[in-house]
Amino acid sequence: MNTSRRVLSLARNARASNAEAAEIRIPVGIFDVQLPARQFLVLHKVAEVGDVSLTTEFLLRLLYAADGINEDAAALFFGFDANEMAYVIKDAEARAYISRSAGRIWLTDAGQGLFKDGDRPQIYDVVKKVEKVGFDLLSLAPCDRDYQSEFERALPELEIRNPELAANASSHVPESFRRFYGEISSRKEKDAADLLKRSLYSVDEVLAGDRFSTIVPFVAMANVRRPGEPEPVLDTWKIGHELSDRDQVVHGIAEFLENLRTSAKPEDANAFEVLAEFAPDYLKEYVNRSGFAVLRYFKEMAGRAGELRSNRPTVGIVGSLYQPENIQRITTAIGYAKESPAGKDVAFVWVAPDQSLWGASRSFQDLIEKLAKEGVLLNGRDKDLERAPVVVIEGEKPGWHLVKALPTTYIRPKNGAIPSSLEILLIPRRVVAITVHAPITENRGFPVPLGILSFDEAVVRRVHQYLATQLPPIVMKYGMAEGFDMGTCLDWPLEEGVQESSDPTVV
Q: Is the pLDDT of residue 369 over 70?
A: yes
Q: Region 320-345: what's the mean pLDDT?
A: 88
* All CATH 1.10.10.10 domain ranges in the chain, comma separated: 51-122
Q: Quick one: residue 426, left, alpha or beta (phi over 0 = left, psi -120 to 50 = alpha)? A: beta
- Rounded to 5 degrees, φ, ψ at 258 are -65, -35
Once rounded to an integer, what is the mean pLDDT over residues 49-55?
Answer: 68
Please tell me the predicted confidence (pLDDT) of residue 2: 46
CA pair distance 12, 19, nearest whole angstrom: 15
Q: Which of 433, 414, 292 is nearest to 349 (CA)?
A: 433
Report the length, in residues, of the chain: 507
Q: Residue 21, Cβ neighbours under 10 Å: how many?
A: 10
Q: Nearest CA to 339 among 467, 501, 498, 457? A: 457
Q: Are 489 and 390 in contact (CB under 8 A)?
A: yes
Q: How confident is the model at residue 385 (pLDDT cuts 50, 70, 90)?
A: confident
Q: Are 337 and 477 in contact (CB under 8 A)?
A: no
- pLDDT tier at 290, thresholds 50, 70, 90: confident
**Does residue 60 register a pLDDT over 50?**
yes
Long-range contacts of 178-186, Cβ-Cβ distance < 8 Å, separation of 24 or more = 178/203, 179/245, 180/141, 180/142, 180/245, 183/142, 184/131, 184/133, 184/142
pLDDT digit string, tens, across residues 137-171: 999 999 999 999 999 999 999 999 899 999 999 99
Residue 306 clears pLDDT 60, i.e. is over it: yes
Q: At what angle do helices 457-470 and 266-278 cross, to 10 degrees?
A: 140
Which amino acid is it at 288?
N
- Give the span between the Cα atoms of 349 and 471, in whole angstroms: 11
pLDDT above 70 for 52: no
CA angle 175, 176, 182 (to 5 degrees): 110
Phi-psi region of 25 (alpha: psi -120 to 50; beta: other; left: phi over 0): beta
- pLDDT at position 344 is 75
Average pLDDT score, the chain: 86
Question: Tell me, what's the pLDDT at 330?
Answer: 95
CA 220 – CA 295 distance, rounded (Å): 18
d(CA 440, CA 269): 11
* Calpha distance 107→112 (Å, rounded): 6
Burial (0-12, 13-18, 19+ Cβ within 10 Å), 82: exposed
Model pLDDT, residue 429: 93
Question: With pLDDT > 70 as the criterion, what percentage of the chain qualifies?
Answer: 86
Is the predicted pLDDT of residue 328 greater than 90, yes or no? yes
Domain with CATH 3.30.870.10 in the chain: 263-490
CATH of domain 263-490: 3.30.870.10
pLDDT of residue 383: 53
Amino acid of residue 479: G
pLDDT value at position 82?
85
DSSP per residue over 17-37, as a string?
Answer: S-TTTS--EEEEEEEEEEEEE
CATH number assigned to the domain covering 51-122: 1.10.10.10
Q: Which helix (H) or strand (E) holds 200?
A: strand 198-223
- Reported as a pLDDT band with limits 50, 70 and 90, residue 305 is low
Distance CA 69, CA 31 (A): 71
- Count Cβ atoms below 10 Å from residue 475 Cβ, excluding itself: 24
- DSSP three-state, residue 239: coil
Tens of pLDDT, residues 386-439: 899 999 998 778 999 999 999 999 999 888 899 999 999 999 999 999 999 999
177 conformational bin, left if phi > 0, alpha if psi -120 to 50, beta if neither: alpha
CB atoms within 10 A of CB 371: 26
Is pLDDT larger for residue 421 or for residue 49? 421
Nearest to 233 by CA among 4, 15, 12: 12
Edge-first strand order for the sheet with 431-438 is 314-318, 448-454, 431-438, 422-427, 347-351, 388-394, 410-412, 474-477, 483-485
In Å, the largest CA–CA distance within the chain is 120
